[in-house]
Amino acid sequence: MASPDHIQSLSLSLPVNSSKANDAGIMALEKESLSSTPPATHNEHGIFHQPHEYRHTTVDGQPPYAEHGPLVDHKVPQEDVVQSEPDLAWSRFRHFMREPLSEFFGVFILILFGDGVVAQVVLSNGTKGDYQSISWGWGLGVMLGVYTAGISGAHLNPAVTWANCVFRKFPWRKFPIYMVAQTLGALCASGVVYANYKSAIDVFEGGAHIRTVPGYSDTATAGIFCTYPAPFMTKTGQFFSEFIASSILMFLIYALKDDGNLGAGNLTPLGLFFIIFGIGACL
């Protein structure tokens, strides 16, 4: 007959051995599971990618929430995780067009505020604002446009995109689609402003089908949507006026983004507001 001490020894050792066995079994299962699933890799663009056949599937063989792609692997930095193979056509379109659409809506907001404030000042004969109001409106438009188009870099201007291609190694292959998106955004926003102020334009011009440009009429409204030179400006003066303003704009943008100097960091949109306001008010 076993002694009490021996029984106590057995009772204490059994749970320990059983626990070790369970742990060993769990570790073996985990090892087998890991060995049966190939590790996730990064493609040639440095984008995290998990083979499609190892995504979780439903009964009918389709991945759950296919629009959102594979489930999140929290062991991988999420900034590296990109939906590289979306399963729905809309997801593919949204993924590959997110930068152009970002530029489109950023420019849309910019022109909506910029042309809108000019229309308000011009069509009210200065009773609803003045030139200072126009500088404020364009500054606000740029600031809000940058907040809108942050995912694409918020160029908001083909000249800015071109300068980034030349001086900041921005891919030239993206320049055409950026330029098209920016132009379409500006045209659509101008259309919205025109539709919003059409009745006021009709009254200001003197008729529903009368539209004139500066220099040919005292009630011209074409200047709401584009810039016309003053009568005294020569071609050389016009060139240098635009060249100086654009050069100062790009110089200050790069200064705001230069973290090696002082840099504006998260206050870059606010800094751009003051840049646009200053250029409009001073240059």
* DSSP notation for 217-251: BTT--GGGTS----TT--HHHHHHHHHHHHHHHHH
Residues present in the chain in total: 283
pLDDT attached to residue 7: 44
HSE, CB side, 13 Å, CA atoms: give it for residue 39: 5
pLDDT of residue 10: 42
Q: For 61, left (φ over 0), alpha (ψ -120 to 50), or beta?
A: left
Pair 99, 151: CB distance under 8 Å: yes
Q: Are 245 and 283 in contact (CB under 8 A)?
A: yes
Predicted TM-score (pTM) of the model is: 0.69
Per-residue pLDDT of the chain (283 residues; tens, 9 = 90+): 545 554 444 444 444 444 454 555 555 555 554 444 455 454 444 444 444 444 444 445 545 444 445 554 555 554 454 554 556 787 777 788 899 999 999 999 999 999 999 999 999 998 999 999 999 999 999 999 999 999 999 999 999 999 999 998 899 999 999 999 999 999 999 999 999 999 999 999 999 989 999 988 889 999 999 989 988 999 999 999 999 999 999 999 999 999 888 889 899 999 999 999 999 999 8
The pLDDT, as a whole number, for residue 61 is 52
Task: Give the pLDDT score at 96.
Answer: 83
Q: How is domain 97-282 classified at the architecture level of CATH?
A: Up-down Bundle (1.20)
Q: What is the pLDDT of residue 55?
A: 44
* pLDDT recorded at residue 77: 53
| Residue 49: strand, helix, or coil | strand
Q: Which residues contact 138 (CB under 8 A, 6 or more apart)?
A: 113, 114, 117, 276, 277, 280
Q: Give domain limits for the chain.
A: 97-282
Which of 101, 133, 115 minimizes the C-alpha distance to 187?
115
pLDDT at 216: 85
